Amino acid sequence: MRTVFDKIDKKNVPQHVAVIMDGNGRWAKNRGEERIFGHLNGVESVRSTLKAALKSGVRFLTLYAFSTENWNRPQDEINALMELLVTTISNEVEELSKQGVRLRTIGDLDALPSSAKIKMLEAQEQTKSNSKIDLILALSYSSRWEITRAIKNIVDAKIPANKITEELVNEYLCTKDIPDPELLVRTSGEIRVSNFLMWQIAYSELYFTPTLWPEFSEEEFFKALIEYQSRERRFGKISEQIT
C-alpha cells in the first residue's frame, strides 16, 4: 500500500519549512494536566517533525519555540520552558550531531537566562560543521523585534538611503543566510502569524491544522508537504506563465 510519504513528489520538496508549534497548553488542559505537561510532550513532536523533515529532504527547518510576547506568560511557565530547553538540548545535542543536524537560533539570545544562552551557543558551536539539515530554533524571537533591530543596525552603519534594497534589508535580518520558507505550518487551529518571520513569509504557502502540537506526527508533516505541492505558486504572474 502507498503510504503518505510515498505520495510526496521528492523533486518538489520545500527547501525550508517553518513551524509555529502551538497548542501545548490546551492539549494538557484537555487531559486535566498542567500546561508544562503539554510542553514536555511537545518535545516528542519536535523529534517526529525533525525526523520527517530529514526523511523528506527538507534542508532548513525553523521552529517557533518562544516568542518575544511569551515573556508575558506567568513566570513559572517561563522558568519551566527555559529549563526544558536546556535539558532537551543537553540530552539531544550528540544524537542531533550524529544525524547531521546543524542547530542554529534566531532571536534575542541575550534575553534568555544565561544558562540557556550558554547552552544554545555551545550547541551551535558543536554542530556548526553539520550540513544535512539546519534546525533553527526561534527563541525570544519576533518579527517586529527583528525588523526594528535591522533598522537600528542599518542606521548605525550609516548606509545611505539609495543603497537600501530588499537584499540589503535581508542581510540585516537574523535569517540572512537562510532562504525564505516556502511553507509555513501552524498547529492548534489558530489562523494567525503571531509575529513570526513576517518579512520572510511574504510569499510562503500557509498550512493550518487543528491538531494540537503534542499530537503532531511525521504523517501530518508529510500531509502538509503534499498540500504544499498541490498549490500553484504564481508570485504575481498568471497561471499560463507558470510551467
Residue nearest to Mg ion (CB): 22
Pick the closer one to Mg ion by CB: 25 or 181: 25
Q: One of 24, 70, 72, 156 is an active-site residue; which one?
A: 70
**CA distance readout (Å), 226 to 4, 10, 14, 130, 180:** 8, 10, 10, 27, 19
Can residue 180 be called a binding residue for Mg ion (CB under 5 A)? no
- Which partner, Mg ion, ligand IPE, none, binds residue 93 by CB below 5 to 8 Å per kind? none
| Interface with Mg ion (CB under 5 A), residue from 18, 19, 20, 22 | 22
Can residue 20 be called a binding residue for Mg ion (CB under 5 A)? no
Pick the closer one to ligand IPE by CB: 22 or 218: 22
For this structure, is 79 an active site residue?
no
For this structure, is 41 an active site residue?
no
What are the residues facing 205 on neighbouring strands? 183
Pick the closer one to ligand IPE by CB: 66 or 222: 66
Can residue 66 be called a binding residue for ligand IPE (CB under 6 A)? yes
Which residues are the active-site residues? 22, 70
Applying CB under 5 A, the residues found at the interface with Mg ion are: 22
Applying CB under 6 A, the residues found at the interface with ligand IPE are: 20-26, 64-67, 69-70, 81, 188, 190, 192, 194, 213
